[in-house]
Amino acid sequence: MFFSFKNNKDTGLMAVKLAAQGLYSAIVSPRSGSLPVLEFLSFYPMGTHSWETLLTRLAKESPARQKRCAVLLNTAEYQSFALDSINVPENELKSAVRFRLNELLDYPAESACIDVLTVPGDSHQGGHKQSLIAIAAKSSEISRYQALFAAAKLNLTVIDVHEMAQRNISSLLELEGRGLAMLSFDQQGGLLTVSFGGELYLSRRLDVSLTDLYVEDEQRRQESFERISLELQRSLDHFDRQHNYITTAKLVLAPLGAVSEELRTFLAANMYLPVENLDLASIIALDQLPELRQSEQQQMYFHVIGAALRSDEVVA
């Protein structure tokens, strides 16, 4: 998975996000035969503090030093690209993608950390590779995070992205043999993903932020709803053409707070898919943190919880 570092300790995972508002962290533990359990959640407001100060507090006041850590990049710190498949040996794929990204990045591809996700093809047609999703971040950003966590004596083993965190949640909601579209919003904008069989097939950024959804002026709010609806229709129509062997069951809206039902009603009236609001309590046991039953709180922690759901994978 994205920017994994070698680690020999199976100590469980803490996901951490350093956002403009402050430091978010979460631990989710799997439970055989039942819902995964949200065991730990914290938020340290930024205020006048430095990241060094907040990470040191996290290390002292939480189980962070007993866990492996995954840090979730902010959306401005990386870019995601949908690419056609490249006919090269597997061990040459990243080099080939790096060469192709030279034309797409606004900085030299040689100074980027790059990961490549293969979008599976139609299993009924031999499963040939149809496309790729490339994710690139400046090496200097990755080094900065490594230095911050090292200074706090935290074991950083994964640097993750919102698309994969959202995929982790989406995969818990999939119906067997059907795709699932999910839409989330934060202060940086919207994110549409489509998953199928636990794999990420599509990601699209929407230039509509959480602030736009909560603007008091009803006309401006409706204009934002219309932009969302139009972008969804375009993106999902494109997905249907590209992956006509996948039937998307529904669109799920990530927790948004008070505006959730208003947006759901608008989209349901303008789309061909059923539209549902997500309550994280339907897929994650929140008994130890009852305050997270509020949709507003779920929105704040949505992606860091998604990152904490990351399953252990073999690290190259």
Residue-level pLDDT at 289: 85
- Average pLDDT of the chain to the nearest whole number: 92
Higher pLDDT, 183 or 131: 183
Q: Are residues 169 and 272 both part of a single domain? A: no
- Phi/psi of residue 272, each to 5°? -85, -10
Question: What CATH number did the domain enclosing 156 receive?
Answer: 3.30.420.40
**Does 39 have pLDDT greater than 70?**
yes
Pair 246, 308 in one domain: no
Three-state DSSP at 291 gives: helix
Tell me, yes or no, whether 42 and 147 share the same domain. yes
Q: Which of 86, 118, 136 is the last residue of a domain?
A: 136
Instruction: Provide the number of structural domains found in the chain.
Output: 3
- Looking at the fold, whether 168 and 294 belong to one and the same domain comes out as yes
The yes-or-no verdict on residue 81 having pLDDT over 60 is: yes
Domain extent, residue 34, equals 1-75+137-173+279-316
The pLDDT score that the predictor gives to residue 290 is 83
The answer to whether residues 182 and 167 belong to one domain is: no
Start-to-end CA distance of the chain, whole Å, equals 9
Q: Looking at 136, 155, 186, which one is the last position of a domain? A: 136
* pLDDT on residue 7: 52
Task: Kindly give the pairing relationship between strand 179-186 and strand 189-196.
Answer: antiparallel
Question: Mean pLDDT over residues 95-110, rounded?
Answer: 95
Q: Which residue has the higher pLDDT, 121 or 76?
A: 76
pLDDT in tens, 213-240: 999 999 999 999 999 999 999 999 999 9
**Same-domain status, 268 and 192:** yes
Q: What is the CATH number of the domain that holds 115?
A: 3.30.1490
The neighbour count for residue 82, using CB atoms within 10 Å, is: 15
Confidence of residue 145 (pLDDT cuts 50, 70, 90): very high
Same domain, 272 and 292: no
Verify that 120 and 248 share a domain, yes or no.
no
* Separation CA 140–CA 112 (nearest Å): 8
